[in-house]
Amino acid sequence: MSIAPCSAAGRDWLSRQFFGPLVCMAAFFLSGCATYSVGIATVEQQTSNRDLDGALKSLDELKLTGADQMLYYLNKGTLLHFQGDYSASNQQFEAAKSLMERLSAVSLKEQTGSVVVNDTVKAYEGFPYEQLLIYAYEELNYLQAGNVDEAAVEARQFDIKQRLVAGDNPSATYLSGAFVRYLNGMTYEEVGERDSARIDFSKAVDGYEEQSSLTGFGVPASLKADLDRMENPQAMKRVTTARKSSGVEVQSPDLSNNGEVVFILNDGLGPTFAENIIHVANPDPQHGAAIMSIAVPRFVQRPVPVASFEISGGSGTATSELVEDVNAIARKSLDDRLPAITARAVARMMVKNAIARKAKNQNGDSGTGLIISIVTDVGAIVTERADTRSWSLLPGNILMARLVLPPGTHDLKVTYYDHSGNVLATREFDAVKVTAGRRVFMSDYYLWPARPHRK
Amino acid sequence: MATKKNVWMMAATVVAALMLAACSTEVKRVGVEEVIDISGAWNDTDSRLVSEEMIRDSLSAGWIDRYSLSLKKRPVVIIGSIRNLSQEHINTNTFVNDLERAFVNSGRVDVVASKSERGDIREERSDMDLNATEATRKAMGKETGADYMLMGSINTIIDAQDSEQVRFYQVDLTLVSLADNSKVWIGQKKLKKEIKNAKFR
């Protein structure tokens, strides 16, 4: 079929070529963004009210497929973890890892789409810090299910993944996965691989030290005690003491005669991103406006309700330590990505301007030309959206407490305190079996009920 | 005009057919020995290669004959733990079951139920005490004790950079005498794979 560009039919065809798809894409992507942000808010609200069945149902109803498939796996895996369905949770995280591997290959179609439409066209593969945390949750699922050998498999997989992530981000020392290394060390100890445990405890210490300027906290005292116990064989006979940043002394567990409860709390909701419209000078001002508006993601910190918690059972009590500041790492990750995101957004606006210019030139000052001009400008604006996707159900912080208890069955009480020292909630865990020389892993989450502080 | 319309109709039909074909699930039966590597992870071919090597080696090694000649009876083996020390979630039951089957079917080695299997059997025997007739009831305390325990591990070394990986698997199986802890047979199978993931999709 031949086209006569100056004919009315030709103009109609051009209109369809440029503007139809642009407007359709705009409508599609805008509706997609709205659906995810609104839908995930419902999931979060139900999660905070501990209505996990409802949250799972709402997540399913979101129908996160295609470019958002990863978000489905990650959030569903987290909800099932909260629910204590460890096997089903790991199915989701395994699917996420498999998808992550596939998405590590570059899609030319998506790259082009991100330059022509916006970054949400690209399949979500997760920030590197999110990718590392998948291993932690899967490992924790295995540990809580009592399957330490499979947990150790996750620890070994993490080692490879973290090396690849570090290789891709050589200056991002905060991507050491310090918390996951800490967890790995305990896992290796559980399966009797003392050398691997020592190495991961040591790497965890290095990781915490490297990220301390970012997170504001150093090496957890209990980790220091672990490493001391590993590096000094004679320390096996004695009980080493380390000092927590809060000044509280902790003792490395005398695990040969006692057992240990390791309690992990997912504290609040972690990183979320909002859209930020910024104005930049048009590098090609002869074509298009001198100032361009581009959309980039902006970090939004959500409240982290629990400042610390206390776990008690029998005559023993242990207080929590901060082991992962997800918010701080997420903020830094976004900051590091922002220059590339901004550069892509500028390139995108230039492409959109070029498309609009071409369309206007081909349609002149006629009535049709005016309509097309308006449509292209509107299309360029409405398709300009920031990629605000994230693993929404990640916590803001992760806290951990380790309680040494004699072998037997114990009823445990966990009390959560806010930043003013007020009790937020108390949870009871009955008949927890503790075995000499072994660790029992437990976890919980706490979110603000019904999100009272959000607007 | 009508011809043009027909062309469009045909094109639409072809596109629709292609789309439907892409959407439907396709199942193709293949031989169990056919090598199909998809992700590069441990798969049925690796398990089969381990089985074949271990069966061949364990039945041809001299431990069975030495035992039979000196004690005039068949050795009894129990399956112990096969530790997965690799970076993958590997089901070790596939090749262990193959080896167990080969032992039993050879008629030269007896195998007794493992720790995980005998719980059900003991429960059933206990149930018989209450519910089975005297003539058919099986008494407690008459199990056959094993002479050797099969133990083992899977270890991996993975070297990865960018989209390339080299995976090395080493499967070690050992028969340990329950009488004196001596090792009477050690089987080993090594596998190595080079995996190159696509840089573009």
Supply the DSSP string of A141-160, one letter for each residue.
HHHHTT-HHHHHHHHHHHHH
Determine whether the interchain pair B200/A105 forms a contact, defined as Cβ–Cβ distance below 8 Å.
yes
Closest residue on chain B to A155 (Cα): B87
Closest residue on chain B to A152 (Cα): B85
Determine whether the interchain pair B163/A104 forms a contact, defined as Cβ–Cβ distance below 8 Å.
yes
Taking only residues 13 to 52 of chain B, the set having a beta carbon closer than 8 angstroms to any beta carbon of chain A reads 39
DSSP percent split of chain B into helix, strand, coil, nearest 5? 40, 30, 35
Confidence grade of residue B162 (pLDDT, cut at 50, 70, 90) = confident
Picking from A37, A92, A45, A30, the residue whose alpha carbon sits closest to that of residue A62 is A37
- The CATH code that applies to domain A8-446 is 1.25.40.10
d(CA B54, CA B166): 24
pLDDT at A147: 96
| Size of the A and B interface in Cβ pairs below 8 Å | 45
pLDDT tens digits, chain A, 455 residues: what are they? 333 333 333 434 444 454 455 555 555 555 445 557 777 999 999 999 999 999 999 999 999 999 999 999 999 999 999 999 999 999 999 999 999 999 999 999 999 888 888 899 999 999 999 999 999 999 999 999 999 999 999 999 999 999 999 999 999 999 999 999 999 999 999 999 999 999 999 999 999 999 999 999 999 999 999 999 998 866 555 444 554 544 445 555 566 789 999 999 999 999 899 999 998 888 777 766 778 889 999 999 999 999 999 999 988 999 999 999 999 999 999 999 999 999 999 888 888 777 777 777 777 667 777 777 777 777 777 788 899 999 999 999 999 999 999 999 999 999 999 999 999 999 999 999 999 999 999 999 999 875 544 43
Reported pTM:
0.84
Partner A contacted by B155 (CB < 8 A): no
d(CA A273, CA A208): 25
**Is residue A318 classed as helix, strand or coil in its secondary structure?**
strand
Identify which has the larger pLDDT, B21 or A49.
A49
Cα distance from A186 to chain B (closest Cα, Å)?
16
ipTM comes to 0.77
Closest residue on chain A to B164 (Cα): A164
Determine whether the interchain pair A150/B87 forms a contact, defined as Cβ–Cβ distance below 8 Å.
no
Assign domain B40-196 one CATH number from 1.20.120, 3.30.200, 3.90.1520, 3.40.50.
3.40.50
Across the range B100-111, mean pLDDT stands at: 97
In chain B, residues with a C-beta closer than 8 Å to the C-beta of A108 are: 200
Question: B40 CB contacts (<8 Å, ≥6 apart)?
Answer: B165, B167, B193, B195, B197
pLDDT at B83: 93
In chain A, residues with a C-beta closer than 8 Å to the C-beta of B39 are: 98, 101
* Spatial contact of A104 and B163, defined as CB atoms under 8 Å apart: yes
Q: Which residue of A109, A142, A157 to mutate against B (max B Cβ within 10 Å)?
A: A157
Interface of A with B (CB under 8 A): 98, 101-108, 149-150, 152-153, 156-157, 159-160, 163-164, 167, 193
Strands A308-313 and A316-319: antiparallel
- In this complex, the residue of B158, B162, B201 whose CB is nearest that of residue A102 is B201
Cβ count near A230 (within 10 Å):
22
In chain B, residues with a C-beta closer than 8 Å to the C-beta of A193 are: 85
Determine whether the interchain pair A163/B200 forms a contact, defined as Cβ–Cβ distance below 8 Å.
no
Buried b (16+ CB within 10 A) or exposed e, A244-266: eeeeeebebbbbeebbbbbbbbb
Angle at which helix A52-62 crosses helix A69-83, to 10 degrees, equals 170
- In this complex, the residue of A98, A105, A159 whose CB is nearest that of residue B199 is A105
Buried b (16+ CB within 10 A) or exposed e, A178-213: bbbbbbbbbbbbbbebeebbbbbbbbbbebbeebee
* Spatial contact of A410 and A92, defined as CB atoms under 8 Å apart: no
d(CA A318, CA A183): 18
Partner A contacted by B181 (CB < 8 A): no
pLDDT at A282: 80
Closest residue on chain A to B41 (Cα): A98
Where in A252-358 does DSSP place strands (E)? 259-267, 272-281, 291-300, 308-313, 316-319, 321-325
Q: By percentage, how much of chain B surpasses pLDDT 70?
A: 89
In chain A, residues with a C-beta closer than 8 Å to the C-beta of B197 are: 101, 104-105
Q: Residue B1 corresponds to which tokens in the numbers above?
A: 């005009």
Mean residue pLDDT across chain B: 91
DSSP percent split of chain A into helix, strand, coil, nearest 5? 55, 20, 25
Question: A268 CB contacts (<8 Å, ≥6 apart)?
Answer: A302, A303, A304, A305, A306, A395, A396, A397, A446, A447, A448
Closest residue on chain B to A94 (Cα): B89
pLDDT at A293: 86
Determine whether the interchain pair B84/A157 forms a contact, defined as Cβ–Cβ distance below 8 Å.
no
Determine whether the interchain pair A101/B197 forms a contact, defined as Cβ–Cβ distance below 8 Å.
yes
Q: Residue B159 corresponds to which tokens in the numbers above?
A: 């070297």
Confidence grade of residue B112 (pLDDT, cut at 50, 70, 90) = very high
d(CA A283, CA A290): 8
Q: Which residue of A86, A106, A139, A196 to mutate against B (max B Cβ within 10 Å)?
A: A106
In chain A, residues with a C-beta closer than 8 Å to the C-beta of B167 are: none
In chain A, residues with a C-beta closer than 8 Å to the C-beta of B160 are: 160, 163-164
In chain B, residues with a C-beta closer than 8 Å to the C-beta of A102 are: 201
